[in-house]
Structure 1
Amino acid sequence: MKAFLGMGLLGSNFVRALIKQGETVQVWNRTASKAQELEKEGAKAFANVADAVKGATEIHITLKDDATVDAVLKAAEPGLTPGAVIIDHTTTSKEGAVQRTREWKEKGFTYQHAPVFMGPINALESTGYMLVSGDEAVITALTPSLSKMTGKLIHFGAEAGKAAAMKLAGNAFLVCLTVSLKDTLTLSKSMDVSLDELLQLFSMWNPGTLISGRLQRMAAPDQSKPSWELNMARKDTQLFLDATQQAGNHLVLMPVIAALMDEFINKGFGNHDWTVIGK
């Protein structure tokens, strides 16, 4: 039997998927009505979190942050079955994941951090990506169960907390990507480029294929042999800024990027590859 704590959009759909797979699931949420709503779909809701975990061999968590996870687990502890496995899908700090792995082991329980790149639809359809790291034996034992919840289970080795770090790195990329797309949309609007035209461009040219090579170029010890000079990249950046300003619009990231480029140009890197600004 499984317990699931945290019935937000992600957690509730995880529960729905587990029920469809034939699992018996006990659920809890701070706002009790969200847990009770799942009873009509076959879950058993509890108002008290310690009651929700009684008899469960796997306790899954989808909560807000480190503090919330710690508080909920403390409240649930009196009801935990000896030897139960706590599987935390919450995006947390690396330090928090490491600390909980150690502390719950000392208490006689297994804590496994398994953050996800999954939205609510992914959770319902068991698609997307789930990340794990830590004790090899624990991960091997949990793999059959976790694999049913996700499209791909990605193992990042034996270091506790590595999965948490990888999740944060990925989220940082997604946050920056979204803001960069905001700038792209603003610039396009400023130049009378429609959304359909922009989508047409990206349907034929996929910049996502450049990520691996770009990361390797940025990490290389020498950017003195450019494929795109910093001076030229700065020129284009100014064109972005000018076109947007002329249209009375405002870019978010580009002014910061322009200032960073100027800093490196002033240091004598203008003829280097523009990825030198990643140093």
Structure 2
Amino acid sequence: MKAFLGMGLLGSNFVRAMIKQGETVQVWNRTASRAQELEKEGAKAFIYAADAVKGATEIHITLKDDASVDEVLKAAEPGLAPGAIIIDHTTTSKEGAIARTRDWKEKGFTYQHAPVFMGPINALESTGYMLISGDEAIITALTPALSKLTGTLINFGEEVGKAAAMKLAGNAFLVCLTVSLKDTLTLSKSLDISLDELLKLFSMWNPGTLISGRLKRMAAPDQSKPSWELNMARKDTQLFLDATQQAGNELVLVPVIAALMDKFINDGFGSHDWTVIGK
């Protein structure tokens, strides 16, 4: 028997996927009606977290943050069966994941952090990516069950908290990417470029293929042999700013990048590869 605490968009679809796979699932949510809605699909809902986890060998959690995870687990603790395994899919701090792994082990339970790069559809269809790290024996034991819930289970080794750190790094990229795309759309609008034209460009030229090479170049000890000089990149950046200003629009991220470029140029790096600003 399994329990799932947290019936948001992600958690509720995880439960639906588990039920389709033949699992018996007990569920709880702070707003009880969200858990109760899943009873018509085969789950059993409970008002109290401690009751939801009774008899369960695996307790999955998808909540908001460190504080909510700690609060809900404290409430559930009286109902935990001896040796129960807690699997937390919440995006949390690295420190929080480390502390919970240690603290629950001292109480006689296994806490395994397994954050995800999955949306609600991924959870329902068991696709996307799930991250994991820590005790290899525990990971080996959990791999068959967790693999059924995701398209790809990525093991980052024995360091407790590494999966939490990797999830935060990935989310940082997604946040910055979204703001970058906002500026790209604003510039396109300023230059009378339609969305269809922009999509045509990116369908033929995929900048995503540049990420690994760009990271390696940024991490290299020497950027003095440029493929694109910082001075030239700064010139183009000014063209972005000028075009949007003339159209009465405003960029968000590009002005910050321009200021950073100016700092490095003033420090004598204008003839270096522009990725020097990543130092």
Q: Do they fold alike, i.e. is TM over 0.5? A: yes
Cα offset for 1:217? 0.3
Q: Which residue of 2 aligns with 1:44?
A: 44
Q: Which residue of 2 aligns with 1:271?
A: 271
Cα offset for 1:154? 0.1
1:42-73 CA-partner distances (Å, limit 9, x unpaired):
00000010000000000000000000000000
Letter in 2 for 1:138: I
Cα offset for 1:205? 0.3
1:198-237 CA-partner distances (Å, limit 9, x unpaired):
0000000000000000000000000000000000000000
Q: Which residue of 1 aligns with 2:71?
A: 71
The reply on whether 1:241 has 2:265 as its aligned counterpart is: no
The reply on whether 1:185 has 2:205 as its aligned counterpart is: no
Letter in 2 for 1:141: A
Cα offset for 1:145? 0.2
Q: Which residue of 1 aligns with 2:113?
A: 113
Cα offset for 1:25? 0.1
Cα offset for 1:195? 0.1
Q: Which residue of 1 aligns with 2:140?
A: 140
Q: Which residue of 1 aligns with 2:164?
A: 164
CA distance in 2, matches of 1:206, 1:171: 20
Give ranges in structure 1 of 5+ residues lacking alignment: none
1:134-169 CA-partner distances (Å, limit 9, x unpaired):
000000000000000000000000000000000000
1:213-268 CA-partner distances (Å, limit 9, x unpaired):
00000000000000000000000000000000000000000000000000000000
Q: Secondary structure at the match of 1:130?
A: strand
Letter in 1 for 2:54: K
Letter in 2 for 1:81: A
CA distance in 2, matches of 1:88, 1:125: 19
The reply on whether 1:22 has 2:22 as its aligned counterpart is: yes
Cα offset for 1:75? 0.4
Q: Which residue of 1 aligns with 2:231?
A: 231
Give ranges in structure 2 of 5+ residues lacking alignment: none
CA distance in 1, matches of 2:157, 2:263: 38
1:113-141 CA-partner distances (Å, limit 9, x unpaired):
00000000000000000000000000000
CA distance in 2, matches of 1:11, 1:160: 23
Q: Secondary structure at the match of 1:200?
A: helix
CA distance in 2, matches of 1:151, 1:242: 44
Q: Secondary structure at the match of 1:36?
A: helix
Pairwise CA RMSD? 0.2
CA distance in 2, matches of 1:223, 1:82: 56
Aligned ranges 1:189-268 → 2 under 5 Å: 189-268=189-268
Q: Secondary structure at the match of 1:157?
A: coil
CA distance in 1, matches of 2:7, 2:202: 36
Q: Secondary structure at the match of 1:223?
A: coil
CA distance in 1, matches of 2:246, 2:23: 59
CA distance in 1, matches of 2:55, 2:79: 8
Letter in 2 for 1:163: A
CA distance in 2, matches of 1:13, 1:75: 23
CA distance in 1, matches of 2:88, 2:11: 11
Runs of 4+ in 1 over 6 A off after TM superposition: none
CA distance in 2, matches of 1:48, 1:91: 23
CA distance in 1, matches of 2:172, 2:8: 22
CA distance in 2, matches of 1:81, 1:247: 64
Q: How many residues align?
A: 279
Q: Which residue of 1 aligns with 2:56?
A: 56
Letter in 2 for 1:184: T
CA distance in 2, matches of 1:234, 1:195: 25
